[in-house]
Amino acid sequence: MKIKKLLVASHNQGKIVEITDLLKPFGIEVVSANELNLPDVEETGTTFFENAELKATELAKISGLPCLADDSGLCVDALGGRPGVYSARYAPNRDFDKAMDLLINELKQSGSSDWSAHFSCVLALKLPDEPCRFYEGRVDGEIVSQKSGHNGFGFDPIFKPKGFDKTFANFTKEEKSAISHRGRAFQKFVTDLEKMV
């Protein structure tokens, strides 16, 4: 099936820009839930898979368009995998500056010296009359105690991926896409897309 227009189930501008850039080579027109005034789908799932599927299925139904949804988050080992699926809601009023302070304080109070963490991303693609297709990406690393960098969004200024000496917020968009959780999930999605096209 040739996808000409794809709805991205997100109101997050940073995410939309990343996805639009990744899909440019395919000549696919990307529209966001925001542009079409579509509602935020309540994330009632307990896993990234469930939330991505909920969003993709619901917005594909409302819009009549193929829909790509993602659910992603930061999972911190010393906090038992939190904030995980609640990453966006961990931020008071979506203020990630406050969320990062909160997370660093929580880690300091945990008494753990192991600040290992990973970002996880699950993409769900819902095409008409087909079950959802899923693509998962993950990047391991650690939380740093000082925010650093101004690129990216969310928890990027305090996440340092394994094998690098800088946080995601110090990566260029291209560098981050090459190794990020979303970038890795997208590589799988793009491989599938090439087969479909």
What is the domain count for the chain?
A: 1
Residues of the chain with pLDDT > 70, as a percent, come to: 99
**Contact assessment for residue 118 and residue 140, using Cβ atoms and an 8 Å cutoff:** yes
Active-site residues: which are they? 71
Tell me, what's the pLDDT at 87?
92
Rounded Cα gap, residues 158 and 171, in angstroms: 12
What is the average pLDDT score of the chain?
92
Handedness of CA 155, 158, 164, 169 (dihedral sign): positive
Cis amide leading into 83 (omega within 30): yes
Q: Span 19-28, mean pLDDT?
A: 85
Q: Please give the pLDDT value at position 193.
A: 85
Cβ neighbours around 145 below 10 Å, total: 9
Beta-strand ranges (E) seen in 5-85 are: 5-8, 29-32, 67-76
pLDDT in tens, 30-83: 999 989 999 888 889 999 999 999 999 999 999 999 999 999 999 999 999 999
CATH number assigned to the domain comprising residue 125: 3.90.950.10
Q: 56, 71, 160: which is closest to 115 by C-alpha? A: 160
Mean pLDDT of 141-166: 96
For residue 105, what are the domain limits? 5-196
Q: What is the pTM of this model?
A: 0.89
The candidate with the shortest Cα–Cα distance to 19, out of 84, 68, 87, 86, is 68
Tokens in use for 161? Answer: 């991926």
